[in-house]
Amino acid sequence: MTTSSFLSYCSVVSSTREIEWGSVITDETASIVFRVFRFPNIVALKFIRFRFAETEIRVITLKTKYAEETLADTAHGFETAGIPDPKTLPLETLDVSVAELFEANVHGEYFRRLRNEDPVHYCPESPFGPYWSVTKYHDIVAVDSNHKVFSSHRDIVIGDAPADFTTPMFIAMDGEKHVDQRKAASPAVAPSQLADIEALIRQRVCNILDDLPVGEEINWVEHVSKELTTQMLATLFDFPFEDRHLLPYWSDVTTTSETVGIEVDMKERERVLHECLAYFARLWQERAAQPPKFDFISLMAHNPKTKDMINDPMELLGNLMLLIVGGNDTTRNSISAGVVELNRNPDEFAKLKANPSLIPNMVSEIIRYQTPLAHMRRTALEDIELGGKQIKKGDKVVMWYVSGNRDETVIEDADRFWIDRPNARRHLSFGFGVHRCMGNRVGEMQLRILWEEILNRFDRIELVGEPTRVLSNFVMGYTDVPVVVHAKSS
C-alpha cells in the first residue's frame, strides 16, 4: 500500500466511523489513533496520527457545517496549518485549554490574541468546564500574590482531581498546613544543603556526559535530561539508587492525567500510584527509625508537624507526587529546551562559547523561554474584580505563566531567546507568592553545572531532527530531542 492510498484509507475510515481516542485500526502495516476536539463554529477537527513504514504521519481534517477537508497531511514533520488561526475564532469562546495546541507549539498566537484583546478572559465552555484565563504578567502576579482570595485548595491545574481519588499535597493547600508542610520538606533544598550536594551532582553530570556516544544520533531527553534529573531526585529523596528509574516512571504517571487534557485510564493510573505509595511507606518507616537526615522523607518523618502523615496514606501519596513531579519534569524539560533553543539560535550559542560566564543568566532565560509549567490554577473564594472583569466566588482562575512570560509590556523582545537578557530572573516560571517554587535553586544549579560541563567537553550538541513535544496543557516539555554530540577538537 502506498502512503497516498493509505492516506485516503484513513480519510474514509475517519469520515464514516466513530472511533474512540486510543482505538487502533490495524491492517498489516499501520495503526491509526485519532482524536476529535472542538473549536467554535467548527464541527470537528480530526487529528490522525499513525505510523506508516516507520514514518509518523499526521493528518488534520477540519469538518465545518459545509464541508470536510484535509488541511494538513505530512509524511515529513508536522505542519501546523491544520490548527485554526486564532485570529479567525470568536474571542468569546476561545479555548486555550486544548492540549494539542501546546504539543504542536502553536499556543503562542492564541495567548498573544488574549493578551492584546482580552487579557482576563472567560471561556464559558471547555472539557474542564468554564474558566478564566489570566494572561498578562502583572495580573498573574496579582492573582498569585493574593492567596486569601485566590485559593490553592484541592486543585491547582485546570481540571479537577477525580472525587474518588483525592491526594492532598501542600501545593494544593492554603494557610497554616501549607506553611508547616513546606517548612518540613524545604531544608532538603536549602542553600546550605545545596552547597553539600553540588560536588555530587557535578560528578553525576560528568559521568552521564562522558558516557554519551559521540557522533551517534541519540535522544537527548532519555540520555541526559531524564537521567540527570532522576539521579538528582534520587539524591534529594536518598532513594535506593538501583531503583531510581521508578521515579521518572511515577512522575510520568502522575502528570499523565485527564486533569491536564490527556485521555488516560485513570484506574490504571491509580493502581500504579498505590505502588509508589507502598514503596515510599517502607522507606518512611525505615527513616523514622533512624537518626534524622536531610532527605525529603527523613525530614518529614521526623518533623513534629508531618511525622503522622504516614497514617494518612493519601496525603503522603499526594506530597510524594508533588515532590517527585516538582523536581522532575520541570528540570528535565529545561535541560532539553536549552539544547533546542541554542540550536535554533546559533548566534546565542556562539555568544555562550565565547563567554561561559553567561551560563547563570542563560539558565534563567531558558527557564523563562520554556516555561516548564504552563499554568497554575486557583479558585476564587469571593467575588473580586480583576482587569475590569467580575470574577465570581467559586470560579476557576488559570494563571497562564506561559503567556505572562511573553508579555511584551514587561519583558523586552519577549519572543526572543536572548542569553544575556537584562533582568533574566524576572520571569514567572517559578510562580510568585507563598507557593513560589521551593526547588528553584536546585533546578537552576543543575542546569548551570550541566552547561559548564557541556562546554568543557563538547564542541556542540547538534539537533538532527524535529523535537517532539509533550501532549499537555500543563507540562511544557519534550519527549524526543534527536541530537548528535560533537567532541571538542582540541
List of residues contacting ligand HEM (CB under 6 A): 144, 170-171, 182, 189, 236, 322-323, 326-327, 330-331, 334, 367, 372-373, 376, 429-433, 435-440, 442-443
Exposure pattern of 445-475 as b/e (b: 16+ CB <10 Å)?
A: bbbbbbbebbeeebebbebeeebbbbbbbbb
Residue with cell 499526594: 318
CB nearer to ligand HEM: give 46 or 435. 435
By beta-carbon proximity to ligand HEM, the closer residue of 94 and 321 is 321
Pairing of strands 396-400, 131-134: parallel
Q: Are the C-beta atoms of 433 and 145 separated by less than 8 Å?
A: yes
Query: Least distance in Å: CB of 98 to ligand HEM?
Result: 21
Question: Are the CB atoms for 433 and 144 separated by under 8 Å?
Answer: yes
Instruction: Give the integer Cα–Cα distance in Å for 34 and 22.
Output: 7
* Minimum CB distance to ligand HEM smaller for 432 or for 478: 432
Minimum CB distance to ligand HEM smaller for 114 or for 236: 236
For ligand HEM, give the closer residue by CB, 46 or 396: 396
For ligand HEM, which is the closer residue by CB, 68 or 238? 238
Whose cell is 492532598? That residue is: 168
Give 126 or 405: the residue with its C-beta nearer to ligand HEM: 405
Cα angle, residue 142 at apex, residues 137 and 143 outer, rounded to 5°: 100
Place of cell 502523615: 309
Shortest gap between Cβ of 337 and ligand HEM (angstroms)? 9
The torsion defined by the Cα of 89, 94, 100 and 104, in degrees rounded to 10, comes to 50
* Amino acid in position 383: D
Residue 169 Cβ, how far from ligand HEM at the closest point, in Å?
8
Q: Are 487 and 457 in contact (CB under 8 A)?
A: yes
- Amino acid making up residue 465: G
* Count of positions (residues) in the chain: 490
The distance of closest approach from Cβ of residue 116 to ligand HEM in the complex, given in angstroms and rounded to an integer, is: 24
Rounded least distance, CB 241 to ligand HEM, Å: 17
Residues paired with residue 62 on neighbouring β-strands, in sequence order: 45, 69
- Is the CB of 118 or the CB of 180 nearer to ligand HEM? 180
Q: Could you tell me if residue 133 is left (phi over 0), alpha (psi between -120 and 50 degrees) or otherwise beta?
A: beta
Minimum distance of ligand HEM from residue 301's CB (angstroms): 17
User: From the CB of 448, what's the least distance to ligand HEM, in Å?
Assistant: 12
Minimum CB–partner distance for residue 466 and ligand HEM (Å)? 23
Rounded CA gap, 51 and 249, in Å?
Answer: 25
